[in-house]
């Protein structure tokens, strides 16, 4: 339960809450400077996210890929690696799922799981390349993984263009019905919102993250190598193999996000002119969540909710999307600069502890 405690103990929970409030205040100041009403904007945001069953379903749809990419970044970080390549792994996950979803014709109970697994494996193998370069050649994973983002994007486009392209369109052939992972029953209750089984798998991923890292031998080895490679090597662990394993598992999370985006949301893969951005947003989600599984889930809910609700701010209060990004960016800034937040919280927390103990300060007693 250590990871859970780190999220919910008094000191660790207070900093992100205050950071969110400070981010909202900075956003309000930016709105006032632009001549907009922040109260109307924030009420429009909340209404957009919770205003109807359809909006709730679409908000869940927006949150789901952020959970996967946030878990990917956080998992690598917990094992001493900075996987900045979740974007490319996400795209490769889309491609793997599209290949299986378009080319094969199987019963749904085989086709859909196989397409999901293919997306996960594609993402994992793409991340493992950076892990291998780190382990075998000492190449920094930040450099290799960010380069692999672009290679993955253009390789994916090449595969779609050469083998899977729908005639006269800049997208693949539609994924066969047997490979889709829509939650039709729930979608009908939510006015046909694009909810899918990826949301359930994302929650399972949060549990798997915790159990794997803190309740298994493999997780202990992964964390040990991340803390101190020399000590892990002295203890008899295969450091190089562990690094590759860590990156592979991290990539699996990102690849799952890409697979469900194809199989659950669009039903095809477009020829992308730019990266979808979920992998980079996952860095912010992992940072907001303190690189812990429950924290990532909460960070994804906040980030995804703000991103989806930004359209409500735009239509309901006329606030440009750029200002909504200022709000998100300000929250991330204050979370990242937690030392500043703790500096301002320190006197308040000291005062609270004094009042709770009922004991006067030594200087006051004298």
Q: What is the pLDDT of residues 250-287, one digit of tens each?
A: 999 999 999 999 999 999 999 998 889 999 999 989 98
The whole-number pLDDT of residue 364 equals 47
Other beta carbons within 10 angstroms of residue 217's beta carbon come to 7
Asked if the model's pLDDT at residue 138 lies above 50, the reply is: yes
The whole-number pLDDT of residue 356 equals 60
Q: Which two tokens stand for residue 216?
A: 């298994």
The CA distance from 137 to 19, in Å, is 40
- For residue range 229-247, what is the model confidence (pLDDT) as tens digits? 989 999 999 999 999 999 9
In angstroms, how far is CA 7 from the centroid of its own chain? 17
The whole-number pLDDT of residue 68 equals 98
Please give the C-alpha separations between residue 228 and each of 51, 79, 91, 231, in angstroms, as whole numbers: 49, 10, 32, 5
CB 303 within 8 A of CB 42: no
Q: For residue 124, what pLDDT band results from cuts at 50, 70 and 90?
A: very high
Instruction: Match 């900045």 to its residue by tokens.
Output: 84
The CA distance from 82 to 290, in Å, is 14
The whole-number pLDDT of residue 35 equals 87
- For residue range 185-233, what is the model confidence (pLDDT) as tens digits? 999 999 999 999 999 999 999 999 999 999 999 999 999 999 999 899 9
- For residue range 24-72, what is the model confidence (pLDDT) as tens digits? 898 899 889 888 889 998 999 899 999 899 999 999 999 999 999 999 9
The CA distance from 362 to 366, in Å, is 6
The whole-number pLDDT of residue 357 equals 60
Q: What percent of the chain has pLDDT over 90?
A: 65
Please give the C-alpha separations between residue 67 and each of 202, 283, 285, in angstroms, as whole numbers: 6, 11, 8
The whole-number pLDDT of residue 326 equals 84
The CA distance from 35 to 38, in Å, is 9
Q: Which two tokens stand for residue 72?
A: 């990917």
The CA distance from 70 to 74, in Å, is 6
The CA distance from 99 to 271, in Å, is 14
The whole-number pLDDT of residue 365 equals 47
Mean pLDDT, all residues of the chain: 89
The whole-number pLDDT of residue 329 equals 82
Asked if the model's pLDDT at residue 316 lies above 90, the reply is: no
**pTM listed for this prediction:** 0.89
Asked if the model's pLDDT at residue 9 lies above 90, the reply is: no
The whole-number pLDDT of residue 360 equals 57
Q: For residue 171, what pLDDT band results from cuts at 50, 70 and 90?
A: very high
Q: For residue 3, what pLDDT band results from cuts at 50, 70 and 90?
A: very low
Beta bridge partners of residue 165, listed in sequence order: 172
The whole-number pLDDT of residue 7 equals 45
Q: For residue 366, what pLDDT band results from cuts at 50, 70 and 90?
A: very low
Q: For residue 296, what pLDDT band results from cuts at 50, 70 and 90?
A: very high
Q: For residue 13, what pLDDT band results from cuts at 50, 70 and 90?
A: low
Q: What is the dihedral of CA 48, 51, 53, 58, to 10 degrees?
A: 10
The CA distance from 85 to 153, in Å, is 11
The whole-number pLDDT of residue 271 equals 94
Q: Which two tokens stand for residue 154?
A: 């253009």
């Amino acid at each position: 339960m250590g990871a859970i405690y780190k999220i919910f103990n008094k000191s660790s929970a207070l900093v992100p809450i205050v950071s969110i409030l400070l981010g909202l205040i900075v956003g309000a100041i930016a709105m006032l400077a632009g001549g907009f009403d922040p109260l109307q904007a924030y009420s429009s945001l909340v209404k957009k996210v919770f205003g109807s069953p359809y909006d709730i379903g679409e908000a869940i749809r927006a949150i789901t890929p952020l959970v996967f990419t946030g878990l990917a970044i956080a998992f690598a970080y917990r094992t001493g690696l900075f996987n900045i390549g979740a974007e490319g792994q996400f795209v490769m996950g889309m491609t793997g799922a599209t290949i299986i979803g378009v080319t094969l014709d199987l019963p749904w109970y085989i086709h859909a799981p196989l397409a999901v697994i293919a997306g996960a494996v594609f993402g994992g193998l793409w991340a493992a390349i950076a892990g291998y370069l780190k382990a075998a050649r000492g190449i920094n994973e930040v450099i290799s993984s960010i380069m692999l983002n672009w290679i993955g994007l253009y390789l994916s486009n090449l595969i779609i263009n050469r083998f899977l392209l729908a005639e006269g369109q800049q997208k693949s052939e539609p994924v066969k019905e047997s490979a889709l992972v829509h939650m039709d029953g729930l979608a009908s209750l939510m006015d046909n919102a694009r909810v899918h089984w990826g949301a359930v798998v994302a929650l399972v991923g949060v549990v798997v993250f915790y159990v794997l890292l803190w309740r298994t031998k493999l997780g202990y080895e992964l964390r040990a190598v991340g803390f101190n490679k020399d000590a892990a090597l002295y203890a008899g662990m295969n450091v190089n193999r562990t690094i590759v394993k860590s990156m592979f598992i991290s990539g699996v999370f990102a690849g799952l996000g890409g697979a469900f985006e194809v199989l659950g949301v669009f039903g095809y893969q477009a020829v992308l002119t730019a990266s979808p951005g979920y992998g980079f947003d996952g860095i912010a989600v992992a940072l907001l969540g303190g690189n812990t599984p429950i924290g990532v889930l909460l960070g994804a809910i906040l980030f995804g909710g703000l991103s989806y609700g930004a359209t409500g701010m735009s239509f309901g209060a006329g606030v440009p999307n750029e200002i909504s990004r200022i709000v998100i960016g300000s929250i991330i800034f204050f979370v990242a600069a937690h030392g500043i937040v703790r500096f301002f919280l320190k006197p308040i927390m000291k005062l609270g502890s004094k009042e709770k103990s009922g004991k006067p300060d030594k200087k006051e007693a004298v």
